[in-house]
Amino acid sequence: MKHLRILLSLPVLFLVATLRSYASEATGIGNLSAILEVQQYNRAIHIMAMLLVGFGFLMVFVKKYGRSALTATFLLVSVTLPIYYLVSDSGMLGHQKSPIENLILAEFAAASLLIAAGAILGRIKMYQYIVLALLFVPFYIFNEWIILDDGMGIMIGNFADTGGSIIIHSFGALFGISAAISLTTKEEFKTNIEADATSDRYSMLGSMVLWVFWPSFCAALVPVEAIPATVVNVFLALCGSTVITYILSTSIRGKINIADIANAALAGGVAIGATCDHATPLTAIIIGVLAGAISTIGFSILQSKQQKFHKIIDTCGVSNLHGLPGLFGGLMAIPVVDGLNIGSQLFGIAITVVIAVVSGLISGKIISLFGHRKEAYNDVEEFEDVEEEIATLKKVA
């Protein structure tokens, strides 16, 4: 067969070129690879829905802070996308990528940033979110460059993290918690961030949008042949974490907690990221169930025991949803991914943890220079009220 291929190769290659040129003219397709890039673009749109509608509405639960959470989401995404895109498009971070690949990588950066912001939500002013974004993006790019592009030549082998369990979820969570620690004084730990009693359906909307589009997040840059299996794995992992969240939330607390459902149900998506294109359906379900269990235990037990570290410095509980399930997912690559270099995987995780914590601590200190305070912010400090606005209009009229 091999000899035959060599024999055929020259005339056939010529024929392929001629045929493709004719096929292009006949069908108007131009370049078949453009079809693949448009398919990637569909996934990019799905990820964008996760970033704005998903993360935005999941964070709406803070009392008197709904508008702020949504506006902050809008700003964090709008600052991150152009910066990351222009840097990546310049080619300075390694090999040149296609426009849609750059866009998807920029969205990944924005996702990680939104996770980080979840840890300090409700404690900073609106312009401080922009400062947060400007500090976060270079550190995120630096870590990504070291791990995925072998930036400093210190990675010793491949790193399994297709859907970003480590470099997106864990990085964002650890950065955010570290920033919260150096942003908040001990005294401030005493004041709780309260939840809005009527926001449950908005939070569930955000959660469901994240759930629905999560497969496109994990499969965004996966080769076309591997997408079907990847997609199925992600959905099965999410199903696993959703069912176990209901069971454990009810068992531990006695009653269902809607915040557990809205958050821990997503832990399967976080954890399957590292192995989404390698797991079998059954493994995916198991990873989802375990991640959901870790997350629910985090929200229902750790959170109320270790008040100092949860929901006080970590408003959205990102350590329970993204931090622990992300690390768990990254470690699960060791048994699941064939031929993985264990040392390389552990080394990559360790580097990410160190960079996230150090850069988070530094960033928190810098943000605190712009002011910080004890109580949670109330929307009306920064936003015009509708009544106020109407009054102004009437006075003018």
The distance of closest approach from Cβ of residue 340 to its own copies in the complex, given in angstroms and rounded to an integer, is 23
DSSP-derived 3-state class of residue 195: strand
46 part of the interface to its own copies, by CB under 8 A? yes
DSSP per-residue letters across 298-349: IIIIIHHH-TTTSSSS-TT-HIIIIIHHHHHHHHHHHHHSTT--HHHHHHHH
Assess 327 for contact with its own copies (CB under 8 A).
Answer: no
From the list 48-56, 136-144, 148-156, 364-372, the region that binds its own copies by CB under 8 A is 48-56
Considering only 62-70, 333-341, 345-353, 365-373, which stretch makes contact with its own copies by CB under 8 A? 62-70
> Using the rule CB under 8 A, which residue among 111, 239, 270, 291 binds its own copies?
239
Can residue 86 be called a binding residue for its own copies (CB under 8 A)?
Answer: yes
DSSP assignment string, 62-119 = BTT-HHHHHHHHHHHHHHHHHHHHHHHHTTTTSS---HHHHHHHHHHHHHHHHHHHHH
* Alpha carbons 287 and 357: distance in angstroms, whole number: 26
Nearer to its own copies, 42 or 373 (CB): 42
Nearest approach, Cβ of residue 149 and its own copies (Å): 20
Q: Binding of its own copies at residue 339 (CB under 8 A)?
A: no
**Exposure on the CB side of residue 152, measured as CA atoms within 13 A:** 9
Q: Which two tokens stand for residue 141?
A: 């790019």
Instruction: For residue 395, give every residue at least 6 positions away whose Cβ sits within 8 Å of its Cβ, in sequence order, or none.
Output: none
Which parts of 260-289 interact with its own copies (CB under 8 A)?
Answer: 261, 265, 281-282, 285
**Distance (Å, whole) CA 243 – CA 253:** 16
Q: How far is the CB of 272 from its own copies (least distance, A)?
A: 13
- How many CB atoms are located within 10 Å of the residue 370 CB? 12
List, in order, residues 6 or more apart from 203 with CB less than 8 Å away: 57, 58, 60, 61, 258, 259, 262
- CA 259, 247, 283 angle in degrees (round to 5)? 100
Tell me whether residue 150 or residue 200 sits nearer to its own copies (CB atom).
Answer: 200
Question: Does residue 92 touch its own copies according to CB under 8 A?
Answer: no
- Closest approach, Cβ 330 to its own copies, in A, equals 24
* Beta carbon nearer to its own copies, 243 or 366: 243
Segment near its own copies (CB under 8 A); pick from 111-119, 147-155, 163-171, 304-312: 304-312
Which of 278, 180, 192 has the alpha carbon at shortest distance from 232? Answer: 278
Which one of 58, 59, 62, 81 is in contact with its own copies (CB under 8 A)?
81
CB 76 within 8 A of CB 129: yes
Stretch that binds its own copies, among 45-53, 316-324, 346-354, 355-363 (CB under 8 A): 45-53
The yes or no reply on residue 124 touching its own copies (CB under 8 A) is no
The piece of 31-39, 142-150, 317-325, 331-339 that touches its own copies (CB under 8 A) is 31-39
**What is the phi-psi region of residue 256: left when phi exceeds 0, alpha when psi lies from -120 to 50, beta otherwise?**
beta
242 binds its own copies (CB under 8 A): yes
Stretch that binds its own copies, among 165-173, 205-213, 352-360, 367-375 (CB under 8 A): 205-213
Closest contact distance (angstroms) between CB of 50 and its own copies is: 9
Size of the site for its own copies (CB under 8 A): 122
| 98 interacts with its own copies by CB under 8 A | yes
Pairwise CA distance, residues 381 & 369, whole Å: 20
Of 16-24, 156-164, 180-188, 269-277: span binding its own copies (CB under 8 A): 16-24
Residue 168 DSSP code: I
For its own copies, which is the closer residue by CB, 137 or 146? 137
Among 108, 136, 159, 202, binds its own copies (CB under 8 A): 202
Per CB under 8 A, contacts with its own copies among 138-197 are 190, 192, 194-197
Q: Which residue has the tokens 């392929």?
A: 16
Cα–Cα dist 166/325, whole Å: 9
Q: Is 309 in the site for its own copies (CB under 8 A)?
A: no
Q: How far apart are CA 58 and CA 80, in angstroms?
A: 20
Q: Is 67 in the site for its own copies (CB under 8 A)?
A: yes
For residue 313, the minimal CB distance to its own copies (Å) is 13
Work out the widest C-alpha separation in the chain, in whole angstroms: 88
**Residue 382 Cβ vs its own copies, minimum distance, rounded to whole Å:** 6
